[in-house]
Amino acid sequence: MKICAFGDIHMDYDAAAAVAGISEADLVIITGDLTNFGHRRDAQQVLDNIGVEKERLLALHGNLDHPDVSQLLEELGIDLHGKGILRGGVGIFGVGGSNTTPFNTPSEYSEEEIARLLEQGYAQVESAPVKIMVSHTPPVDTACDRISSGAHVGSEAVRRFIEEKRPALCLTGHIHEAKAVDRIGDTLVINPGMVKDGGWILCQPKDGGWTGELMG
């Protein structure tokens, strides 16, 4: 199974539709921020223009998506926020939105709520031999959460969860300038940056395990 993941679309659905890995992927994962302070009608426009059938699509809302975006994704049966889904023997679970920011964006959560949502999703796929975690906000103190000033602004709860549960991969986003690959213990952490800059993630089995690669 091949997985193509990307996020931080911000209504640029032409750039999203042009991601090279979509056509060959068995599963496409959107890691959040479909819109730019938008609602469900905007997110639906993005999904319609990307054109991936929902049978091979999973997604999260980001902090710049209003909560009704998550409601839309749930109604479509593709939502990963606080949920776990099994696909091809792989357990995929996640949390949308972000930890709190100075900007009061539409979908922000406390660290305690992020931890609770991750536990809730993980419990639904705990028996899967391979687990992939999708978190719009990256784990703190990695190359994937560093803003241009050099400060680390990611989630402490996301990092603690990775350290405790050790999923194979953590697919993230949120911090546009932190397009990077890092590692926390056994977990590969990848932020592909904004989709308009061409970044996406390819995940696939390799050498008896699973690997992720930053593309574009």
**Per-residue model confidence as pLDDT tens digits over 48-68:** 999 999 999 999 999 999 999
Distance CA(50)–CA(42), nearest Å, equals 13
**Per-residue model confidence as pLDDT tens digits over 146-179:** 999 999 999 999 999 999 999 999 999 999 999 9
Percentage of the chain surpassing pLDDT 70? 100
Fold of 3-215: Purple Acid Phosphatase; chain A, domain 2 (3.60.21)
Q: Is the distance from CB of 43 to CB of 16 less than 8 angstroms?
A: no
Residue whose tokens read 């959560």? 109
Query: What's at 48, amino acid-wise?
Result: D
Beta bridge partners of 213: 202
The answer for residues whose C-beta is within 8 angstroms of residue 133's C-beta and 6 or more apart is 93, 94, 118, 122, 161, 162, 165, 167, 169, 170, 171, 187
Reading the block at residue 57, the tokens are 């699509």
Q: What is the pTM of this model?
A: 0.98
The answer for residues whose C-beta is within 8 angstroms of residue 142's C-beta and 6 or more apart is 152, 154, 159, 180, 182, 184, 189
Query: What are the extents of the domains in the chain?
Result: 3-215
Closest CA to 64 of 210, 157, 176: 176
